[in-house]
């Protein structure tokens, strides 16, 4: 039996721009922490080797410290590590693979596939790697396997980076892989990279032998097609294939004998927890109090990035309590953000009288109440927030 880890799309050195500089640096650092989690699990489970099916690095121009650190981490593990260049880090002249330490590999446990040819891991076990040589290509990276004759006894594991042709509207230059390449080339398992959510596909006999493992560390808020981290895939922005599940995973694969069904178990490796919640509808101060309590008592808040989308209507007194929620997100969480576009303020009659008793504030309030009925949602929101400020001023001056 062979036991190995299959991962891809680590994107070390990932370009993060959407957050403040300190948070961006911590998000990049989290990718190394998650890699360390992955390597520790591989050692604990005594896997035979690790496959990285493309995009170890986010691009060919990663800085020397990032390249050196990745090398030292991967070289230190007590199992062989097999690395495939992907579309973000293809085998192009002058890139990271042509610079030390990656240009000086001695094949003592750390292997970079530079050629499309069979690699014998052990007697009866072949890897068939498909390194990527450019960011886009119209050619199927697995097509070379037609030249590799099959054996009745060898376990054959293909390694490729690209889009499995499961539908007709995929970009033609996205390294398209034949849907049944695993059958065409008599593979026991096809380890793929490029798509960021865990997916598996059956061969022509219904056996799931084609696997995308997902990412080892989340890259943005789950379900979000926009580039909320500032990162954009070379394979095309806005594609569902590049939306991860919000958690990092590695595939632990076991193949007992030639032709047997691969046993694939996902294991979590992520460091950060990305959450985006759209369910919070507030209509009272009690609703807000429950939300504050729930957010304040979540575990691992120092690893959480939380976006809350609030809807509903609150009176002015309750609306002012949002500051307590903001403070929790700012002081405790790795990152927190409130989306309040659809949360409206509607002062009670008592709150309106409190403002109206303040002379000039009363005249301002009359104008703002008219603006609240404006058809432009931006105007309405500004007017509502202004009324809230007036209420706060009235409370403080009183």
SS3 309: strand
> Quick one: 245 and 298 in the same domain?
no
> Quick one: 94 and 107 in the same domain?
yes
Residue 147 has what pLDDT? 85
Listed residues 268, 300, 316: the one ending a domain: 268
Q: Cα separation of 104 and 208, whole Å?
A: 37
Q: 119: Cβ–Cβ under 8 A, 6 or more apart, which residues?
A: 82, 111, 113, 126, 127, 128, 129
SS3 250: strand
Give per-residue pLDDT as tens, 57-83. 999 999 999 999 999 999 999 999 999
Task: Count how many Cα atoms sit within 13 Å of the Cα of residue 334 in the half-sphere of its side chain.
Answer: 22
Give per-residue pLDDT as tens, 300-356. 999 999 999 999 988 878 888 899 999 999 999 999 999 988 888 777 767 666 665
> Quick one: 297 and 383 in the same domain?
yes
Listed residues 223, 252, 268: the one ending a domain: 268
- DSSP H/E element including 353: helix 349-356
Residue 363 has what pLDDT? 72
Count CB-CB contacts under 10 A for residue 383.
20
Q: Cα separation of 383 and 378, whole Å?
A: 9
> Quick one: 53 and 21 in the same domain?
yes
> Quick one: 330 and 238 in the same domain?
no
> Quick one: 331 and 232 in the same domain?
no
What domain count does the chain have?
2
> Quick one: 178 and 79 in the same domain?
yes
> Quick one: 192 and 325 in the same domain?
no
Phi-psi region of 11 (alpha: psi -120 to 50; beta: other; left: phi over 0): left
Residue 373 has what pLDDT? 72
Which phi and psi angles does 330 have, rounded to 5°?
Answer: -75, -45
Report the CATH number at residue 23: 3.60.21.10
> Quick one: 390 and 257 in the same domain?
no
> Quick one: 127 and 21 in the same domain?
yes
Q: With b meaning 16 or more CB within 10 Å and e meaning fewer, what string describes 129-153?
A: bbbbeebebeebbbebbeebeeeee
Mean pLDDT of the chain: 89
Low-confidence ranges of the chain (pLDDT < 70): 223-230, 237, 349, 351-362, 365, 375, 390-398
Residue 228 has what pLDDT? 56
Q: Domain range holding 188? A: 2-268
CA distances, 18 to each of 218, 303, 309 (Å): 15, 18, 18
Which phi and psi angles does 193 have, rounded to 5°?
Answer: -135, 170
Listed residues 268, 302, 324: the one ending a domain: 268
């Amino acid at each position: 039996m062979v036991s190995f880890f299959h991962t891809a799309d680590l994107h070390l050195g990932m370009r993060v721009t959407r957050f403040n500089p300190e948070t961006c640096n911590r998000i990049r650092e989290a990718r190394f922490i998650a890699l360390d989690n992955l390597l520790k699990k591989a050692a604990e489970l005594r896997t035979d080797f690790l496959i990285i099916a493309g995009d170890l690095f986010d691009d060919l121009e990663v800085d020397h410290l990032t390249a050196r650190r990745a090398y030292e981490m991967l070289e230190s593990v007590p199992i062989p590590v097999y690395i495939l260049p992907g579309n973000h880090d293809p085998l192009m002249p002058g890139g990271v693979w042509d610079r030390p330490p990656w240009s000086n590999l001695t094949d003592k446990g750390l292997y970079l596939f530079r050629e499309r040819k069979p690699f014998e891991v052990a007697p009866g076990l072949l890897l068939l790697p498909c390194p990527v040589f450019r960011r886009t290509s119209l050619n199927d990276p697995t097509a070379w396997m037609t030249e590799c004759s099959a054996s009745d006894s060898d376990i054959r594991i293909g390694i490729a980076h690209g889009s499995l042709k499961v539908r007709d509207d995929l970009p033609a230059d996205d390294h398209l892989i034949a849907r049944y390449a695993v059958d065409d080339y008599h593979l026991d398992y096809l380890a793929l990279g490029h798509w960021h959510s865990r997916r598996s596909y059956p061969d022509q006999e219904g056996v799931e032998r084609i696997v995308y493992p997902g990412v080892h560390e989340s890259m943005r808020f789950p379900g979000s097609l926009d580039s909320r981290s500032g990162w954009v895939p070379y394979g095309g922005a806005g594609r569902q294939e590049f939306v991860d599940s919000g958690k990092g995973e590695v595939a632990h694969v076991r193949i007992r004998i030639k032709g047997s069904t691969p046993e694939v178990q996902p294991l979590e490796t992520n460091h950060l927890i990305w959450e985006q919640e759209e369910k919070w509808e507030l209509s009272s101060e009690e609703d807000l109090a429950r939300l504050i309590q729930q957010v304040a008592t979540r575990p691992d808040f120092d690893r959480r990035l939380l976006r809350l989308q609030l809807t509903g209507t609150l009176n002015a007194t309750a609306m002012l309590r949002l500051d307590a929620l903001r403070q929790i997100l700012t002081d405790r969480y790795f990152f927190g953000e409130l989306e309040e576009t659809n949360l409206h303020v509607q002062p009670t009659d008592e709150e309106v009288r409190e403002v109206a008793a303040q002379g000039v504030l009363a005249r301002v309030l009359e104008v703002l109440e008219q603006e609240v009925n404006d058809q432009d949602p931006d105007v309405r929101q500004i007017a509502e927030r202004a009324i809230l400020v007036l209420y706060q001023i009235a409370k403080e001056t009183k």
